[in-house]
Structure 1
């Protein structure tokens, strides 16, 4: 499934991402299950977690050192937020 492009990513506590899509959908994605091991463990640092950014064209998100989560995973597993 092709997911819509992300127009905004906002880190929120505790270790979640609020994602806004071009469709107007807003989804909350919990990153906590990913925060383990040497690669994703760095996301457990709250200051570092806040550095998440939107990739050009809204095709995904990433952190400063290259950690990312597949865009389809963000969309399919994000919890739709009410308006």
Structure 2
């Protein structure tokens, strides 16, 4: 089972640094996802920089979130 996200830091280059409940840290590049309709609003830098951890996921607002599975499995270990 994938661990939950407990902390996330949005980076200015549309990447995320996430800390998971098991203590692992991962780096994730969001740029390839920004062309998907579900994430296209995140091209607005001010919105992207509002990323935060909530309920084990990364979320930006009530409509946009990122599965911890995607972040954990596709992210690069730090």
The normalised TM-score by structure 1 is: 0.83
Which residue among 68, 72, 78 is the counterpart of 2:69? 72
Higher helix share: 1
Q: Report what 1:17 is aligned to.
A: 16
Pairwise CA RMSD: 1.4
Cα shift at 1:40: 1.4
Structure number with greater CO (CA < 8 Å, separation at least 6) is 2
Higher strand share: 2
| Mapped pair 1:28 → 2:34 | no
Q: Which structure's CA Rg is the greater one?
A: 1
Q: How many residues align?
A: 78
Moved over 3 A (4+): none
Cα shift at 1:24: 1.5
| Uncovered stretches (5+) of structure 1, i.e. residues with no partner | none
| Uncovered stretches (5+) of structure 2, i.e. residues with no partner | none
